[in-house]
Structure 1
Amino acid sequence: METSVRKFFERYASLFNQSLGGNMDMDEVASLYASDFIAASPAGVMSGKNDDQLKQAMVQGYARYRAMGTKEMRIRNVGVSPIDEHHCVANVAWTAIYARKGQPDIAIDFDVHYFVQTLDGEPKVFGWVSGDEQALLRKHGII
């Protein structure tokens, strides 16, 4: 399971970076997610469905990231904690690279904990827990 989850997040990062570059295939991005998902952060807990509304939200999210100067998302590490034969928590350590006008690029490290289900050898995210993205971006002067 660990190898397939690590490869899955390499693909996840690759699709994220393609989307940052404006080369978005929302069907392929949506294929990373289960039919339903949950998300938790200091802003609250939400649930959603993998449908056209999710794809539209992702298009808007990538546009927001580009407008903030997000250039690239890099994975520093993927830790996998199995729950059972089909589920795990993937602790992904990310580094986001931001362009800033008249200043050097800045790298910001953060972690997201993803709930992953693997059925028929295919991992999919069905949830995630993240920190306070807005506070982190404010702290570093991105927003």
Structure 2
Amino acid sequence: MEPSIRKFFERYADFFNRSLGGNMDENELASLYAPAFIAASPNGVMTGKNDDQLRQTMVEGYAHYREIGTKDMRIRDIRVSAIDDHHCVAHVAWTATYARQDRPDISIDFDVHYLMQELDGEPKVFGWVAGDEQELLRKHGIVL
């Protein structure tokens, strides 16, 4: 399962960076996620569906990332913890680069833990656990 998960996240990172450029493919977005998902952060737990609301949220999310100067998202490392033949946790270490006015770009490292399901050779995200993104961005002066 690990090679397919690594390949999936290479595709995911490519999708993310193209979307940062304003070229979000909604069909590709839908192909990355299971029909339903769960997300957890210090702000709580939420559930959602892979539907029009997810697409709209993602469009708005990428617009926000562009607005705050996000230039690039790069994978530093992936570690896969198998659960069974069809499920794993992908621990993905990311580096995000931000442009700032009158100051050099800044890179920020963070981790996200993705709950993955692979059926018929197709890995999909069915959940994730992330830290406090807004606090991290405030700490580095990206947002107030």
> TM tier, shorter chain?
over 0.9
| 2:122 equivalent to 1:122 | yes
Helix, strand or coil at the partner of 2:89: strand
Q: Which residue is equivalent to 1:57? A: 57
Q: CA deviation at 1:12?
A: 0.2
Q: CA RMSD in A?
A: 0.4
- Please show how residues 100-139 of structure 1 align to structure 2 within 5 Å: 100-139=100-139
Note the alpha carbon deviations across 1:46-105, whole angstroms, 9 max, x for none.
000000000000000000000000000000001000000000000000000000001100
Quote the Cα distance in structure 1 between the aligned partners of 2:132 and 2:30.
23
Matched with 1:19 is 19
Counterparts of 1:26 and 1:78 in 2: how far apart (Å)? 25
Which residue does the alignment assign to 2:79?
79
The aligned residue for residue 67 of structure 1 is 67
C-alpha deviation, 1:131, in angstroms: 0.1
Q: Residue 37 of structure 1: CA displacement? A: 0.0
SS across alignment from 2:113: strand
> How many Å apart are 1:30 and its aligned residue?
2.0
Runs of 4+ in structure 1 off by over 4 angstroms are none
| Matched residue type, 1:49 | K
TM-score normalised by length of structure 2: 0.99
State the secondary structure of the residue aligned to 2:64: helix
- The residue that corresponds to 1:41 in the other structure is 41
Displacement of 1:31 in angstroms is: 1.0
Q: With the length of structure 1 as denominator, give the TM-score of the two structures.
A: 0.99
Show structure 1 runs of 5+ residues with no match. Answer: none
Name the % identity: 75
